[in-house]
Amino acid sequence: MTSITSDLLSNQSNPASSAGSSDQPATQSPSKVLVVEPHPTLRTVLVQRLRQDGHLAAAVSSADEAVDLCRDQSPDLLVSAELLEQNSALRLAQQLGCSVIVLTARSGVEPLVGLLDEGADDVMRKPFGLEELAARCRTLLKRGRIGLQERVSVGPLEVHLLLRQVTLREKPVELSPREFALLCALLMPPGMVRSRHELLRMAWPPFSGGPRSVDTQVLTLRRKLEQAGLGDGGGITTVRQQGYRFSLDTLP
């Protein structure tokens, strides 16, 4: 197994590594991101998406492979499944000496809070959207360990990104994980029209769902936001032949 330096630097010749709009200055070396994920399809999709942002990204399936890959140099960021064979994402991050985004399949707030308290820099619950993961990676790499953006506020609506909680005028709005991911996609940034295919990419797991799934989830999200008191359509408007947007103009 080669070192992370030689393995990752080889990605600079990959056209995909320059296809995205990297947020890093030209004078700054690209960030090194290591993905550790046992599922082969998800592992491939994650590393391809990270390379689109200009990161030097590599992916392995186990903690042992990660340690072997990083003998000469630690990555800047680890994106890892929570539980690995004979290891965990948190222990692996300590071994490698880097920040970590933990990917967990556990539900509920308590496991998420526990992982953050134990030292995770960020936690994402499966299933998640690729664009949300990419955004969290960019934020963490920019800010180091100074801290992540925890909340997004739009008018009376507040979204707590780490705890995946939504409040409207300080009252909780109960959303499913898919509805929460969809709302985040519509709020990044608010007012932008998102096509159904964009929303699928941002809020659905790779190779799942379809345009009708988006329409169904938008309908349920609208109803919940309406019932919470956000007005007709819950702030979500349909743009003919284009998609959907979260419109500040409709907020009461």
Same domain, 13 and 134: yes
Q: How far apart are CA 70 and CA 177, in angstroms?
A: 34
pLDDT at 68 over 70: yes
pLDDT at 152 over 50: yes
- Residue with the larger pLDDT of the pair 43 and 247: 43
Look at the chain and report how many structural domains it folds into. 2
Same domain, 64 and 165: no
Which of 143, 169, 194 terminates a domain? The answer is 143
Closest by Cα among 168, 173, 162, 185 to 109: 162
Which of 89, 124, 143 terminates a domain? The answer is 143
Q: Which domain holds residue 107?
A: 4-143
Mean pLDDT value of segment 27-37: 79
**Chain CA centroid to CA 238, Å:** 25
pLDDT at 27 over 50: no
Same domain, 18 and 114: yes
Same domain, 173 and 195: yes
Same domain, 14 and 35: yes
Same domain, 78 and 163: no
pLDDT digits (tens, 9 = 90+) for 210-232: 888 899 999 999 999 999 988 88
Mean pLDDT of all residues belonging to the chain: 80
Q: What is the CATH number of the domain that holds 27?
A: 3.40.50.2300
pLDDT at 186 over 60: yes
Same domain, 14 and 108: yes
Same domain, 220 and 176: yes
Asked if 124 and 104 count as a contact pair (C-beta separation under 8 A), the reply is yes
Helix (H) or strand (E) holding 131: helix 130-143
Asked if 71 and 158 count as a contact pair (C-beta separation under 8 A), the reply is no
Q: How far apart are CA 187 and CA 61, in angstroms?
A: 33
Same domain, 83 and 197: no
